Amino acid sequence: MATPTAPSRVRRQLPTSPWLFAAPGLLITGAFVLHPFVSTVVNSFTDRRTLIPGHFVGLANFRELLHDDMFWTGLRNSTLYIVGVVPALVILPLLLALLVQKNIPGITFFRSAFYTPVVASIVVVGLIWVWLLDERGLVNSLLETVGIGRVGFLSDQWLLLLSAMAVTVWKGLGYYMIIYLAALANVPRELHEAAAVDGAGPVRRFLDVTVPAVRPTMVLVAALSSVAAFKVFSEVYLMAGPSGGPAGEDTTLVMLVQRTGTGLTGRVGYASALSVVVFVVTVALMLLVLRADRKEES
Amino acid sequence: MRISRRTFAAAAVALVLPLSACGSGGDDGGSTDASGKVEGNITFQTWNLRANFKPYFEGLIADFEKKYPGTRVKWIDQPAEGYADKISADAAGGTLPDVVNVSPDLVAPLAEAGLALDLDKAAGKYRSEYLDGAWASHRIPGLSGTYAFPWYLNTGPLFYNKSLFTKAGLDPSTPPKTYDELFTDALQMAKKTDGKVATLANVPTIEDFGRYGVQLMNKEGTGFAFNDAKGVGLLTKYKELYDAKALDPQALTATPESSGKKFLTEAVAMNPGSALDLGNFKKQAPGLYKNIGITDQITSTGHVNMYVMGVMVNSRTKHTPAAVAFAHFVTDAQNQMSFAEKVAIFPSTAGSLDDPYFTKEDGTDETRVRIAAAKSLKNAVNYTPVLFSEQMKTALRNEVAKALQGKESPKAALDNAVKACDQLLKQQG
């Protein structure tokens, strides 16, 4: 039988224990999330360079970026990326999930096939698409064969951006499809049956039963994909090259951060100011999507 | 025990605050005096040399350790791509190796940050062993001193596809030598192949402007000047090539790797490279290898561009005498000569280029190319301005692209490029 003093000892130790359990996580977060974040914000108010500590310059970096043409190009391209990629990544994976949701023989193969691009390395994927879309690549050879002629997918500013968007959508389909599959599994079967009894066809059932049931998931996908789209780097970097396409016209904001802030003569202060802008826009995007959802619900 | 909020905050600050020192370098500098005993463990970093020259460097290090008992050299090699970023990360993190393989444009920011040892002070006695021009190539405008031992020199050959030349009605035995000849041949190539074969895969770089005879910087070295009439003339000609598809349509986004592939697939007829490329052609494109022509860089000044490699000593090394001795050992006449016999590079040490190895014909193509290159090296110029940073290269490239696309006139594009480069130069301090 326990002595009367035992519970009080346990109670006394309780306040310390949670902190000890949380300590590893807190340490990692502090070192690899909090500290870099605070450093970036502090650096954005300095003229720090890669090898030179720099001085406090107030808002000079932020004023400079307002007059930097490349900043506006980056902001335009990152915004266009959201406009081009997010609707596709909200709708197409849902349709794909509906296709592979049914348990028919061999469906596992298709589920795996659609998910494969997600696990493939972005560098490998990027290089394959560059080969496909090259002036002498497979796609152009096919277009020439059917009489359309060669298209400058990798040399035209807008086609390059569209090609990069296509790769992002192609690579992201499987990931969001899995999220939708989980959501679809929770849609009550009775609702579909009731709608069918009331005479609703497949399209009507999709719009009036499926879509409302997975709407929270659609909002989540919209939020996640818009943040990822705004921060796009790899696809555009691999397809447009380090210079960001012809005359740098396909540069995105994150590419600009990388180009400005790295290397031996990198302008760390200015790149930090750009990063702060990316952060603020990203948070604003999330809030906007969530707010739109709340409005819709009410 | 109960942890108060204040205690927790103090602990968090104590843990996180020291990390803020990361990247700021710190000033735990070593000695600039290289006269002490040569001993201790040092690290030596090369630039993409392990794959082809492992036995040479292992032998070199063993010889040094034998000559100076009590020394130990750890050799690390970094890939060509991202080399500047690797040095940058090491320099910012305080982990720069003791002895580093650099080029003049890489050593400039390191010297400005006080991370490169001034060899005029620490190793001035060795100066007479090197060619004057080579020793001067690691001097930085605005700073006094020399910040790396000159190592090997190269001019880099220009490869061309003889078969494509013949198909276009050009004589493969007389490839273009000057820019005017290049423009004429390139336009003919494009015309005869209906724009299917381009002659060049890259937009003009700062070195092209130099070899065309454009003055790159003002006399004081305080600002750029490549937007003069000659510079505009060069860009106007390139625009003509681009419109005629004599310059590859993907040139605006090309990288050295992608233009190398274009040459391999015979989509372009000429491409600059290095002696190592010949091996790649043999392995990856035997058909092309049979038709390979090798010529000098295109130049209208009579001077080809010289690429200079150097060996820098980290000013924060704990073993200055050993690091300086090793950097000198790697670059001395004997070791440079023995390295030159393994690969088509040229020594920067005085008198080495007069060695029969670089002057006496033996009837082979290899020797003929080597002798021709050594001869052109004697009056070669390092056209790349030491202070021309990566950001400046991007600024020039973007403006050149705008001119080629017709979005800006060549004059306006070069004016903008000069303005941007001057601004970056000012920011570099």
Q: Do B344 and B374 have their domain in common?
A: yes
Say which of B3, B265, B391 has its CB closest to residue A265. Answer: B391
B391 contact A CB<8A? yes
Q: Do B44 and B133 have their domain in common?
A: yes
Tokens of B395: 């600024």
Q: State the count of interchain CB pairs (< 8 A) between A and B.
A: 115
Closest alpha carbon within chain B to A246: B252
**Gap from A195 CA to chain B (nearest CA, Å):** 55
Contact B117, B331 (CB under 8 A): no
Closest alpha carbon within chain B to A127: B258
Tokens of A139: 């796609």
What are the residues whose beta carbons fall under 8 Å from the beta carbon of B162, sequence distance 6 or more? B172, B291, B292, B293
Do A264 and B1 lie within an 8 Å CB cutoff?
no
A265, A270, A274: best mutation site toward chain B, by most B Cβ within 10 Å? Answer: A265
Strand runs (DSSP E) across chain A, as ranges? none
Contact B400, B233 (CB under 8 A): no
Count CB atoms within 10 A of the CB of residue A95. 12
**ipTM confidence:** 0.78
For residues B32 and A144, which has the higher predicted lDDT (pLDDT)?
Answer: A144
Distance from chain centroid for Cα B412: 29
Tokens of B239: 């625009």
Do A241 and B397 lie within an 8 Å CB cutoff?
no
Question: Phi-psi category of B100—alpha, beta or left, where left has phi over 0 and alpha has psi -120 to 50?
Answer: beta
Q: What is the DSSP string of B205-272?
A: -HHHHHHHT---B-TTSSSB-TTSHHHHHHHHHHHHHHHTTSB-GGGGG--HHHHHHHHHTTSBSEEE
pLDDT tens per residue across all 429 residues of chain B: 444 555 444 444 443 333 333 333 344 455 667 778 889 999 999 998 988 889 999 999 999 999 999 999 999 999 987 898 899 999 988 999 999 999 998 999 999 999 999 999 999 999 999 988 788 889 998 889 999 999 988 887 889 999 999 999 999 999 999 999 999 999 999 999 998 899 999 999 999 999 999 999 998 888 999 999 999 999 999 999 999 999 998 899 888 888 888 899 889 999 998 766 777 788 888 888 889 898 889 999 998 888 889 999 999 999 999 999 999 999 999 999 999 888 778 888 888 888 888 888 887 767 777 787 788 787 788 898 888 988 899 999 999 999 999 999 999 999 999 999 999 998 876
Q: What is the pLDDT of residues A91-141, one digit of tens each?
A: 999 999 999 888 888 888 888 888 999 999 999 999 999 999 988 889 999
Residue B268 belongs to a domain with what CATH number? 3.40.190.10
pLDDT-based confidence at residue A228 (cuts at 50, 70, 90) = very high
B1, B102, B105, B253: best mutation site toward chain A, by most A Cβ within 10 Å? Answer: B253
Three-state DSSP class for residue A187: coil
**Gap from A258 CA to chain B (nearest CA, Å):** 11
Domain membership of residue B256 as a residue range: 158-302+383-428
Q: Do B271 and B327 have their domain in common?
A: no
Q: What is the domain count for chain B?
A: 2
Q: Do B130 and B65 have their domain in common?
A: yes
Three-state DSSP class for residue A59: coil
**B6 domain-assigned:** no
Q: Do B264 and B278 have their domain in common?
A: yes
CA dihedral of residues B105, B106, B109, B112 (deg, nearest 10) = -90
Say which of A16, A50, A134 has its CB closest to residue B1. Answer: A16
Q: Do B163 and B81 have their domain in common?
A: no
Q: Do B164 and B151 have their domain in common?
A: no
Say which of B8, B110, B253 has its CB closest to residue A245. Answer: B253
Contact B349, B331 (CB under 8 A): yes
Q: Do B89 and B142 have their domain in common?
A: yes
Question: Does domain A60-297 correspond to CATH entry 2.130.10.10?
Answer: no
Tokens of A104: 């028919």
Say which of A30, A263, A267 has its CB closest to residue B84. Answer: A263
Closest alpha carbon within chain B to A154: B250
pLDDT for the residue numbered B275: 66
Express as a percent the part of chain A with pLDDT over 70. 94
A33 contact B CB<8A? no
Say which of A30, A39, A245 has its CB closest to residue B12. Answer: A30
Q: Do B83 and B214 have their domain in common?
A: no
What are the residues whose beta carbons fall under 8 Å from the beta carbon of B155, sequence distance 6 or more? B296, B297, B304, B305, B306, B307, B373, B376, B377, B380
Q: What is the DSSP string of A114-170?
A: HHHHHHS-HHHHHHHHHHHHSTTSHHHHHHHHTTS----TTTSHHHHHHHHHHHHHH
Q: Do B204 and B114 have their domain in common?
A: no
CA distance B196 to B25: 52
CA distance A35 to B375: 56
Contact A263, B85 (CB under 8 A): yes
A243 contact B CB<8A? yes
**B1 domain-assigned:** no
Closest alpha carbon within chain B to A136: B267
Scanning the structure block, which residue is given the tokens 């790769």?
A: A167
Average pLDDT over residues A251-269: 93
Tokens of A83: 């406009």
